[in-house]
Amino acid sequence: MNKYSQILAQLPELAHEAQVSVTINSGVVEIGQRTDLSTSQHELLHSLCKDLIPWRKGPFNLFDIFIDAEWRSDKKWERIAGHLPTICDKAVLDIGCNNGHYLFQMAQQHPRLLLGIDPFPLYQAQFTLLNKYAKLPNTSFEAWGIEHLKNFKEKFDLIFSMGIIYHHRHPIAQLEDINRALQPGGVAIIESIGIPGEAPHALFPPDRYANMRNVWFIPTLSCLINWAHKAKFKEIEVISDSLLTNEEQRTTAWCPPPFQSLDDFLNPQDRSLTIEGFPAPRRFALKVKRRI
């Protein structure tokens, strides 16, 4: 965190931070207004935000600095938001929270606890920058990974696992840890890339999938459902099954080349395939419950 700490130490201080507003407008997390900053403060903050490129999750509008991240995370939020339980005064965990985009979305519902975990220092720095001004109540970011989840037993009413399961070599063990960390009757949202097909199988690439090295098992939807059954979840509901497109994931000024995105990962002659020749990714989302 040393180089990021140097960036964060330069963040401008506001004379009236308590008045900074946090709202959600058409899926964009809006923090503050342009008039909250002087011209020099605005220029400095814009430069410091640029120093934290790449921004993978968004969008954010920070004092009229529009951070158009690689992922339109608001689109994923739209697919799941109507299926979430009431979280007012509840405890919520977001595994692999990146810069906390979903924490900002959920904070609007006044949960008792919002905990985001992600072991990447860049994402922690981005969250720290945003939350310096947003000051989300009852919200924490810890640099932990999925392996630390086993330390929590029956602690959370809602757990998010958004785009995490395929990055780890033991998907069912991961789901079992999520199950144990839920309160009885608690809900988890399991979101994953997947491949098309009716059969309950998973792709196990020998090296990369869509140019990603850290990918292990990429399930069909029926395979993902079976994993949830094996992990002893009940009331397994399919929330969404959609093709991933460059409307949702793409390079931007806030995640520019040489960083790559979806268009670089697909076969230019046949976009139904990855550059390795595997089926192009879909996005699946399940809502599951822990047994009472």
Name residue, tokens 């268009």.
Answer: 263
The answer to whether residue 53 is domain-embedded is: no
The answer to whether residue 166 is domain-embedded is: yes
The answer to whether residue 23 is domain-embedded is: no
CA distance 91 to 112: 6
The answer to whether residue 113 is domain-embedded is: yes
Q: Please give the tally of structural domains in the chain.
A: 1
Please determine, for residue 91, whether its predicted confidence score (pLDDT) is greater than 80. yes
> How does residue 37 score in pLDDT terms, banded at 50, 70 and 90?
very high
pLDDT of residue 2: 86
pLDDT of residue 18: 58
Residue range 54-90, pLDDT digits in tens? 999 999 999 999 999 999 999 999 999 999 999 999 9
CA distance 238 to 35: 44
Please determine, for residue 186, whether its predicted confidence score (pLDDT) is greater than 80. yes
Q: What percent of the chain has pLDDT over 70?
A: 99
The answer to whether residue 234 is domain-embedded is: yes
Which residues are registered as beta bridge partners of 67? 60
The answer to whether residue 211 is domain-embedded is: yes
Q: What is the 3-state secondary structure (H, E, C) of 2-14?
A: HHHHHHHCCCCCC
pLDDT of residue 17: 58
CA distance 147 to 169: 12
How far the first Cα of the chain sits from its last, in Å, is 41
Task: Taking residues 265-281, report their average pLDDT.
Answer: 97
Task: Taking residues 90-118, report their average pLDDT.
Answer: 97
CATH, residue 281: 3.40.50.150
The answer to whether residue 126 is domain-embedded is: yes
Pair 173, 280: CB distance under 8 Å = no
The answer to whether residue 118 is domain-embedded is: yes
Question: Phi, psi (5° rounding) for residue 277?
Answer: 95, 5
Task: Taking residues 129-148, report their average pLDDT.
Answer: 95
Task: Provide the mean pLDDT of the chain.
Answer: 96
Task: Taking residues 78-107, report their average pLDDT.
Answer: 97
Task: Taking residues 4-19, report their average pLDDT.
Answer: 87
pTM: 0.95
Please determine, for residue 207, whether its predicted confidence score (pLDDT) is greater than 90. yes
Q: What is the 3-state secondary structure (H, E, C) of the chain?
A: CHHHHHHHCCCCCCCCHHHCCEEEECCEEEECCHHHCCHHHHHHHHHHHHHCCCCCEECEEECCEEECCCEEHHHHHHHHHCCCCCCCCCEEEEECCCCCHHHHHHHCCCCCEEEEECCCHHHHHHHHHHHHHHCCCCEEEECCCHHHHHHCCCCEEEEEEECCHHHCCCHHHHHHHHHHHEEEEEEEEEEEEECCCCCCCEECCCCCECCECCCCCEECHHHHHHHHHHCCEEEEEEEEEEECCCCCECCECCECCCCCCHHHHEECCEEEEECCCCECCEEEEEEEEECC
Please determine, for residue 19, whether its predicted confidence score (pLDDT) is greater than 80. no
What range does the domain containing 84 cover? 72-290
- Single-letter code of the amino acid located at 207: D
Pair 201, 220: CB distance under 8 Å = yes
Closest by CA to 191, choosing from 73, 100, 87, is 73
